[in-house]
Structure 1
Amino acid sequence: MYSRTVRVTPLARFARSRNLARVRFASGRPSPPSPSQGKILAALGLLAIGTTIVASVYNKSHPMPMVEPAKNPAAFNKEAASGKPLKKPTFSPDEVTVVFVLGGPGSGKGTQCAKLVAEKGFVHLSAGDLLRAEQKREGSKYGGLIAECIREGTIVPQEVTVALLEQAITEEHKKGNSRFLVDGFPRKMDQALVFEEQIVPSAFTLFFECPEQVMLDRLLQRGKTSGRTDDNIDSIRKRFRTFVDTSMPVVDYFDKKGKVVKLSCDQPIDSVYGEVKAALEKKGVV
């Protein structure tokens, strides 16, 4: 059942509180009101009726919001107080395997992911590519925000990135795909926690270690042909700082849980790929 709060206006309360409507009793019998009292009583009666009608009309046109009571408040409070997620992840680790792929800008993550897709049948989901596609999508409410974050080298709010990844994984899973390389994500702790609580716990993280100067040279070279707005010296240095400040804590977090495989990228592509394949085989995902 829903209840509605009835508003009583000050004028109605005034009319109800007046003692002029009372008639004094004398000798056990009420005395009739004088003509002047009768006029006052009549006026107040009309005023009370009018304010009641106005309040009724107002309440009908401005209904109070109705809140349905919780079906089991005790259970909800117990679950919320436990700090555990109130919603089960969309997928279980038995349904999909997600490998996070992290590394500084220009570390070669995308190149290694492309080789795994071609040879091992993984689905490669680049958080950056998804965001750029969303930025260009006509009518996107996030387009301007994403463009600004890319230009400034800052991180897009996790709600946007997680939603795009969940949509992409769901669509691929419907096609029968179950193994995913999530490239360039999570870049912050809140992203990592929300993804694993809402979508699926990750299997482990591939972390590509590479000297900053090597990454800088690679990105400047790529910028000559990529057409990407963030492949310029200012944006690159901002991205380096952002990665160290916000993404390395994510690597450390998973490393303490024994869920990080570190790979040196300061070597030829095929050498790095050999180490990647060996790591995946050891983890039992290829």
Structure 2
Amino acid sequence: MGTLFFFNLFCGPGSGKGTQCANIVQHYGYTHLSAGDLLRAERDSGSENGTMIDNMIAEGKIVPSEVTIKLLERAILETDNDKFLIDGFPRNEENRAAFESVTGIEPEFVLFFDCSEEEMTRRLLSRNQGRTDDNIETIKKRFKVYMESSLPVIEYYNSKGKVRRIDATKPVEEVFDAVKACFAPSGGTIAA
């Protein structure tokens, strides 16, 4: 794949990552790869994995690593850019280890949008985007999976000094100011 520059975005569902991803793409020229969007597109394509992906998403479970990695690799190869913002993956330690093993890539750094479960739930229920996973039952399952599976990945990257923690409860503009500090030439960090 050549030299790629990318970073991961970690946060619970509803913490505002979609808004911040759009800002990062616009200001820094990264190609945004959303694992969730790639999985939903694959589900809707009628592929052989579509039904399995649909069932996993509906249950708030994590799709097998090999499926998501193949979708990410395909998306990377379909663009001329060498800077990627990957959100929603890896979701657990197995995802992380598999991705790094298959691609040989580690993130430059990891943005962690810190937001309370109550605030994320409020945001998810109010966004009304017609997504089947924006209902209270699935949201609770997604939070449980996030707490059990994704937080250990954040801890792993934090132990390597790669995590930049951002308070995602602040207004959108303030959150993006904190994001911009992470991209500053000095490699500005936000206390983790």
TM-score, length basis structure 1: 0.63
Q: Which amino acid aligns with 1:184?
A: G
Other-structure match for 2:172: 269
The answer on 1:156 being equivalent to 2:46 is no
In the TM superposition, what whole-angstrom CA distance separates every residue of 1:106-151 from its partner, at most 9, and x where no partner exists? 011111010111121111000000000000113x111001000110
CA drift at 1:283: 2.8
CA drift at 1:204: 1.3
Q: Which amino acid aligns with 1:134?
A: E
In the TM superposition, what whole-angstrom CA distance separates every residue of 1:161-192 from its partner, at most 9, and x where no partner exists? 011001111111xx2x1111001111011111
Partner of 1:217: helix, strand, or coil? helix
Partner of 1:119: helix, strand, or coil? helix
> What is the rounded CA distance, in whole Å, between the counterparts of 2:178 and 2:102 in structure 1?
31
Partner of 2:111: helix, strand, or coil? strand
Q: Kindly report the root-mean-square deviation, in angstroms, between the aligned alpha carbons of the 2 structures.
A: 1.1
Greater than 4 Å deviation, 4+ residue runs: none
Other-structure match for 2:106: 201
In the TM superposition, what whole-angstrom CA distance separates every residue of 1:33-77 from its partner, at most 9, and x where no partner exists? xxxxxxxxxxxxxxxxxxxxxxxxxxxxxxxxxxxxxxxxxxxxx
Give structure 2 stretches of 5+ with no counterpart.
none
Q: What percent of counterpart residues are identical?
A: 47
The answer on 1:244 being equivalent to 2:147 is yes
Other-structure match for 1:192: 96
Other-structure match for 1:134: 42
Partner of 2:158: helix, strand, or coil? helix
Aligned length: 186
Other-structure match for 2:159: 256
Please point out which of 119, 125, 128 is paired with 1:220: 125
Partner of 2:78: helix, strand, or coil? helix
Partner of 2:52: helix, strand, or coil? helix
Partner of 2:165: helix, strand, or coil? strand
TM-score, length basis structure 2: 0.94
